[in-house]
Amino acid sequence: MLPSKKRLSPKEIKKVLDIGTKYRGKYGMLVSIPSNKDNDEFAFVVSKKVGNAVQRHKMTRLLRESTKDLKSKKNIKGVYVAFKYCDEYEKIKEEFKSQYVKATRDI
C-alpha cells in the first residue's frame, strides 16, 4: 500500500478526474493536476474489464511499485486508470514513467 502521504482521498480523486489533463497509454491513462505539496500523490483505478480480482490486484501492486523511484522538481496529483491487463513490470513501469514525465513537463 502507498504511504498515506502519497495517497489521494476520494474527494481529490474526483477532482483530478474532473479537471485533470489526460495522458493515454497502451495499458491505461494518467490523469493529473499540479500539486502544491512537497511530494507526488497517486491513486490507481483498475477496471473490472481488466480481468479477475487476482489480475486487478497484481496490476495495482505493479503500478504502486513503479511510483517508488519517480523523481521530479514538480509535483502532481495523479490518478492512473488501467483498462488493459499487463503483468510485466518493465512494460508497466516504462509506460507509467513516460506518462509521468509528460505530466510533469506540461505543468
**Cβ pair 14, 28 in contact under 8 A:** no
Cell numbers for 33, please give them. 493536476
What rounded mean pLDDT belongs to the chain?
94
Angle at 27 between CA 96 and CA 20, to 5 degrees: 60
Q: At 4, give phi and psi (nearest 5°).
A: -60, -30
pLDDT at 54: 96
**Cβ pair 78, 103 in contact under 8 A:** yes
pLDDT in tens, 41-60: 999 999 999 999 999 999 99
Please tell me the pTM assigned to this model. Answer: 0.93
Distance from C-alpha of 98 to C-alpha of 85, rounded to nearest angstrom: 18
Strand partners, 81: 29, 45
The string of DSSP letters for 29-83 reads EEEEEE--SSS-EEEEEE-TTS-SHHHHHHHHHHHHHHTTT---SS-EEEEEEE-
- Confidence band, pLDDT 50/70/90 cuts, at residue 25: very high
